[in-house]
Structure 1
Amino acid sequence: MSSPIAAEPDRSLPVRGPASASRNAYGAQGQQFDVDLRAAPFDLDDDAVAWVESTITGMSLEEKIGQLFVNHNNDYSPEYLDGVLENFHVGGIRYRPGPSAAVQEHIRYAQSKSRIPLLVASNPEMGGAGSCDDGTFVSTHLQAGSHPDKSIARRMGQVAGVETAALGCNWAFAPIVDIHYNWRNTVISTRAFGNTPEVVVERAKEYFDGISESPTACAMKHFPGDGVDERDQHVVTSYNTLGFEEWNRTYGHVYREMIGHGVQSIMAGHIGAPELSRHFRPDTADADILPATLSPELLQDLLRGELGFNGLIVTDASQMVGLTQARKRRDLVPETIAAGCDMFLFFRNPAEDFRYMLDGYRTGVLTEQRLHDALRRILGLKASLGLHRTPADQLVPPVEALGVIGSEAHRAVAADIADKTVTLVKDTACNLPISPATHRRIRLYGISGGADFTRADPLAYLDTVKEELEAAGFEVHLFRTAGQRQAAGETGMNFMRIMAEEATDDYADKYDAAFVFANVKGFAQEAAIRIKWSTPLAAEIPWYATEVPTVFVSLNQPNHLIDVPMVRTAIHAHAASREAIRATIAKIQGTSAFQGTFNENVFCDSFDTRL
Structure 2
Amino acid sequence: MVDLSHAPFNLDRDAIDWVEITIASMTLDEKIGQLFINLNVSFDEKYLDDVVGRHGVGGIRFMGADSATVQQHIRYAQSVAKVPLLVASNPEMGGAGSIDDGTLVTTHLGAGSSPDPDDAYRLGLVGGRETAAIGCNWAFAPIVDIHRNWRNTVIGTRSFGDNADIVIERAKRYFDGLSETGSAAAMKHFPGDGVDERDQHVVTTYNTLGYDEWDESYGRVYRELIAHGVQSIMIGHIGAPELSRRFRPELTDAEILPATLAPELLQDLLRGELGFNGLILTDASMMIGMTQAMKRSDAVPAAIAAGCDMFLFFRDAEEDLGYLRAGIESGVVSEARLHEALTRILGLKASLGLHTAPREQLVPPASALKTIGSDEHRAIAAEVADRTITLVKDTQSALPLSPSTHPRIRLYGVTGQSDFTGTDPSGYLDVAREELERAGFEVHVFKNALQRQAEGEEGVYFHTVMAEEANGGYADLYDAAIVFANVSGFAQEATVRIRWSTPMASEIPWYVTEVPTVFVSLQQPNHLVDVPMVKTMIHSYAPSREAIRATVEKITGASEFTGSFNENVWCGDIWGTRL
Same fold per superposition (TM over 0.5): yes
User: What are the residue-to-residue correspondences of 1:439-478 with 2, within 5 Å?
Assistant: 439-478=406-445
4+ residue runs of structure 1 moved beyond 2 angstroms?
A: none
- The match for 2:245 is 278
Aligned to 1:299, the other structure's residue is in SS state: helix
Cα offsets for 1:479-537 (capped at 9, x unmatched) = 11111100111112211111111132100001101111000012111101110000111
Query: 2:113 & 2:456 partners in 1: Cα distance?
Result: 43
Aligned to 1:37, the other structure's residue is in SS state: coil
1:607 paired residue among 572, 575, 579: 575
Report the aligned-residue RMSD.
Answer: 0.7
Q: Which moved more, 1:557-566 or 1:495-504?
A: 495-504
Name the aligned partner's letter for residue 171 of structure 2.
A
User: What are the residue-to-residue correspondences of 1:25-44 with 2, within 5 Å?
Assistant: 34-44=1-11
- The match for 1:30 is none
Q: Which moved more, 1:493-502 or 1:183-192?
A: 493-502
- The match for 1:183 is 150
Deviation at 1:96?
Answer: 0.5
Query: 1:321 & 1:176 partners in 2: Cα distance?
Result: 20
2:529 paired residue among 558, 562, 568: 562
2:502 paired residue among 531, 535, 540: 535
Cα offsets for 1:188-235 (capped at 9, x unmatched) = 110000001000000000000111011111000000000000000000
TM-score normalized by structure 1? 0.94
| Contact 2:53 2:82 (8 Å CA) reproduced | no
| Alignment partner of 1:523 is 2:518 | no
| Alignment partner of 1:252 is 2:219 | yes
Query: 2:2 & 2:96 partners in 1: Cα distance?
Result: 34
1:347 paired residue among 314, 332, 335: 314
- The match for 1:81 is 48
Query: 2:93 & 2:488 partners in 1: Cα distance?
Result: 15
Deviation at 1:127?
Answer: 0.9
- The match for 2:271 is 304
Deviation at 1:38?
Answer: 0.9
- The match for 2:132 is 165
Name the aligned partner's letter for residue 275 of structure 1.
E
| Contact 2:143 2:171 (8 Å CA) reproduced | yes
- The match for 2:404 is 437
- The match for 1:366 is 333
| Alignment partner of 1:321 is 2:281 | no
| Alignment partner of 1:52 is 2:19 | yes
| Contact 2:152 2:198 (8 Å CA) reproduced | yes
Deviation at 1:112?
Answer: 0.5
Name the aligned partner's letter for residue 265 of structure 2.
L
Deviation at 1:445?
Answer: 0.6
1:384 paired residue among 348, 351, 375: 351
Q: Which moved more, 1:56-65 or 1:495-504?
A: 495-504
Query: 2:409 & 2:293 partners in 1: Cα distance?
Result: 52
- The match for 1:28 is none
Query: 1:272 & 1:250 partners in 2: Cα distance?
Result: 17
Aligned to 1:609, the other structure's residue is in SS state: coil
- The match for 2:391 is 424
Aligned to 1:79, the other structure's residue is in SS state: helix
Cα offsets for 1:323-351 (capped at 9, x unmatched) = 00001011101110000000000001111
- The match for 1:192 is 159
Q: Which moved more, 1:272-281 or 1:357-366?
A: 357-366
Deviation at 1:320?
Answer: 0.3
Q: Which moved more, 1:319-328 or 1:160-169?
A: 160-169
Cα offsets for 1:398-443 (capped at 9, x unmatched) = 1111111111001000000001011000000110111110111111
Deviation at 1:175?
Answer: 0.3
Query: 1:456 & 1:70 partners in 2: Cα distance?
Result: 24
| Alignment partner of 1:115 is 2:78 | no
- The match for 1:67 is 34
Aligned to 1:145, the other structure's residue is in SS state: helix
| Alignment partner of 1:552 is 2:524 | no
Aligned to 2:355, the other structure's residue is in SS state: helix
Cα offsets for 1:281-301 (capped at 9, x unmatched) = 111111111000000000000
Q: Which moved more, 1:79-88 or 1:382-391?
A: 79-88
2:301 paired residue among 312, 334, 348: 334
Deviation at 1:148?
Answer: 2.0
Name the aligned partner's letter for residue 234 of structure 1.
H
Cα offsets for 1:359-394 (capped at 9, x unmatched) = 111111111010000000000000001110111111
- The match for 1:592 is 559
2:177 paired residue among 198, 202, 210: 210
Deviation at 1:85?
Answer: 1.6
Q: Which moved more, 1:309-318 or 1:141-150?
A: 141-150
Aligned to 2:234, the other structure's residue is in SS state: strand
| Contact 2:500 2:508 (8 Å CA) reproduced | yes
Query: 2:461 & 2:331 partners in 1: Cα distance?
Result: 63
Name the aligned partner's letter for residue 345 of structure 2.
I
TM-score normalized by structure 2? 0.99
Query: 2:376 & 2:470 partners in 1: Cα distance?
Result: 48
- The match for 2:63 is 96
| Alignment partner of 1:576 is 2:564 | no
Count of aligned pairs: 578
Query: 2:183 & 2:325 partners in 1: Cα distance?
Result: 30
**Percent same amino acid at aligned positions?**
69
Q: Which moved more, 1:544-553 or 1:455-464?
A: 455-464
Query: 2:327 & 2:251 partners in 1: Cα distance?
Result: 24
| Contact 2:115 2:387 (8 Å CA) reproduced | no
Query: 2:526 & 2:470 partners in 1: Cα distance?
Result: 29
Deviation at 1:460?
Answer: 1.2
Name stretches of at least 5 consecutive residues in structure 1 with no aligned partner: 1-33
Query: 1:323 & 1:236 partners in 2: Cα distance?
Result: 8
Deviation at 1:87?
Answer: 2.6
Q: Which moved more, 1:78-87 or 1:574-583?
A: 78-87
| Alignment partner of 1:411 is 2:378 | yes
Cα offsets for 1:233-291 (capped at 9, x unmatched) = 00000000000000001000000000000100000000000000000011111111100
Name stretches of at least 5 consecutive residues in structure 2 with no aligned partner: none
- The match for 2:97 is 130
- The match for 1:504 is 471
Query: 2:489 & 2:139 partners in 1: Cα distance?
Result: 23
- The match for 2:480 is 513
Query: 1:290 & 1:531 partners in 2: Cα distance?
Result: 32
Name the aligned partner's letter for residue 269 of structure 1.
G
Query: 1:106 & 1:510 partners in 2: Cα distance?
Result: 54
2:255 paired residue among 275, 285, 288: 288
Cα offsets for 1:57-99 (capped at 9, x unmatched) = 1101100000000000011110110011233110000001211
Q: Which moved more, 1:77-86 or 1:267-276?
A: 77-86
Query: 1:415 & 1:119 partners in 2: Cα distance?
Result: 32
| Contact 2:86 2:137 (8 Å CA) reproduced | yes
Query: 2:185 & 2:497 partners in 1: Cα distance?
Result: 32
Query: 1:468 & 1:538 partners in 2: Cα distance?
Result: 26
